[in-house]
Amino acid sequence: MPNRFRQALASLAILLGIGHFAFGIIAYKAFSVDLLWFLGFGIAMIVTAFANFKDEKIWILRVQNALVLGSIAALAYLIPQPQILVGLVLFASLFAVSCILPRPNE
């Protein structure tokens, strides 16, 4: 059950990251630093979400989830928009699930 829940959350996080990336391309008409930040965070969400499909190096997974969660929490504080709050819930859930996963050798 926890594995399926984690995979469902990770799949939703991948979709959010892809949406973030696509929206960045649509919203920013010119190549700029803002566009690169926007695309970079979309890529970070996608990479972190894909990492949640495997739990071989659980401590790396926890660090990845914590870093993305911290970034989204800062954004939620600065820009409390619905899509950011969705990301906050997704990555808070992924972080929580990764914290309750046993280590592979246990």
Q: What confidence tens digit (pLDDT) does each residue in 5-38 have?
A: 899 999 999 999 999 999 999 999 899 998 999 8
pLDDT, greater one: 73 or 29: 73
**Would you list the DSSP string of 19-82?**
HHHHHHHHH--S--HHHHHHHHHHHHHHHHHHHTT--TTHHHHHHHHHHHHHHHHHHHHH---H
Quickly state the pLDDT bin for 103 (edges 50, 70, 90): low
What percentage of residues in the chain have a pLDDT greater than 70?
94
Query: What's the mean pLDDT in 57-85?
Result: 93
Backbone angles phi, psi at 25, to 5 degrees: -65, -40
Query: What's the mean pLDDT in 37-56?
Result: 91
pLDDT of residue 1 exceeding 90: no
